[in-house]
Structure 1
């Protein structure tokens, strides 16, 4: 099989490109008293029977009660309740889906060994073609067992799981306060940004469906997982409860 050639532009310490945002086309500011279910769907339970452990041997059970809106922010609280972990996972599938643009969230992370918050996207055709052919865009993943580090990752049919196209970015103060996490998505490439600075660019030369499923709408997902293949396997129960606080989600035109 011919090796797929990629140009991977990794941000350096000398010069990191600043993101250029176009016109704001949609935003979620979480200013209401309850989550707007005309925009957001709740995904509930442990993923069974179709994808038990949500496909990653995760330990949490998702509920409708592990979140609140407070001071114009979404707060996802992850708890240890008896012998179970509970959390929240919401998506915009079928309600707010986007093709190309600059997607961004401003968020404050939960911390501790075993915690796994994320801001990510899945292809709208996933129910028809499945994962990973539908594609996945992980704008932010943070795992508590690797402090001071952010992950930005793309999963495709050709490169997924442990072989995904991914970049780990060291950020000394990532656990402190709010940071912005974004991706500039064009027909040619994906460029990821943290605090408006470029950290990783993905440019496949041969844009077959196996390496570039990104010419279709994608929807957003916000969640905090516990343990699992990536976040775990060990979990420090003393860290709970933990809060993942999202200030906003925005989409800008290119």
Structure 2
């Protein structure tokens, strides 16, 4: 037990020292009254005609109206009105893109069957090479049908969709209050953390175009999906409205 505790302390200290050795190169604190459109883009609609259901049979329509900036928080509101679900999805594509470093967000997840919030990244070359060749880094995914569980996943050309490069981590109390979700990304590997605890590492032995599309810039995405291949298929309509609350995003390099 003493050896185990010593290991945990050493890992925590190493993570803390890594963070302190780097420089804070960008942060979004969601100050003010409106979203900064010099940083953020809205993705709107249901994905049609080219990507209906956003590629996952999701039920929501994304709008500019399902969010608010309040008291230094971004609040994404997932709602149901009549038979329609709505939410917000924003990205930093072509505005704030990053290669390597520690990328983290402090957030509080919504809950309930059918809800699917995410803090994730896509390769900046997605419009030229498409998905999954561009690569995808899912720093946080939570699905209400599996409470007390955090998903951390990589999608590559070699492993996409139901990716084998994924970890489910049981965290009691993850629905309570705010938690920090982060990656530490280098040329060699990507480590995933929840509240500074290492939960998953991705480090393929052979780094090829198919297994490691991560030597390029990526942009950040925040959204709440409803239902779909991963979040559904069942949706409990009694849970709405739900809020995904983001305190900040920080990037250290």
TM-score, normalised to structure 1, is 0.93
SS in 2 for 1:163: coil
Aligned to 1:169: 169
In the alignment, structure 1 residue 142 sits paired with structure 2 residue 139: no
Paired residues of 2:154 and 2:163 also in contact (CA < 8 A) = no
1-structure distance, mates of 2:32, 2:209: 39
Aligned to 1:4: none
Matches within 5 A, 1:195-206: 195-206=195-206
Paired residues of 2:181 and 2:193 also in contact (CA < 8 A) = yes
SS in 2 for 1:233: coil
Change over 3 Å in CA distance of 1:79–1:139 after alignment to 2: same
Aligned to 1:62: 62
Give the CA deviation at 1:14.
Answer: 8.1
1-structure distance, mates of 2:164, 2:133: 13
2-structure distance, mates of 1:198, 1:160: 23
Give the CA deviation at 1:164.
Answer: 3.6
Aligned to 2:110: 110
SS in 2 for 1:39: coil
Change over 3 Å in CA distance of 1:241–1:49 after alignment to 2: same
Give the CA deviation at 1:28.
Answer: 0.3
Question: When you count helix as a share of all residues, which structure comes out higher?
Answer: 2
2-structure distance, mates of 1:193, 1:163: 19
Give the CA deviation at 1:32.
Answer: 1.4
Paired residues of 1:156 and 1:164 also in contact (CA < 8 A) = no
In the alignment, structure 1 residue 35 sits paired with structure 2 residue 35: yes
Paired residues of 1:105 and 1:182 also in contact (CA < 8 A) = yes
SS in 2 for 1:128: helix
SS in 2 for 1:161: coil
Aligned to 1:88: 88
2-structure distance, mates of 1:205, 1:13: 29
Give the CA deviation at 1:127.
Answer: 0.3
2-structure distance, mates of 1:222, 1:163: 20
Change over 3 Å in CA distance of 1:159–1:13 after alignment to 2: farther
Paired residues of 2:153 and 2:163 also in contact (CA < 8 A) = no
Aligned to 2:220: 220
Aligned to 2:179: 179
| Ranges in structure 1 where 5+ consecutive residues have no aligned partner | 1-11
2-structure distance, mates of 1:13, 1:55: 43
Aligned to 1:5: none
Aligned to 1:251: 251
Paired residues of 2:116 and 2:226 also in contact (CA < 8 A) = yes
Give the CA deviation at 1:205.
Answer: 1.1
Alpha-carbon RMSD: 1.2
| Ranges in structure 2 where 5+ consecutive residues have no aligned partner | none
Give the CA deviation at 1:149.
Answer: 0.4
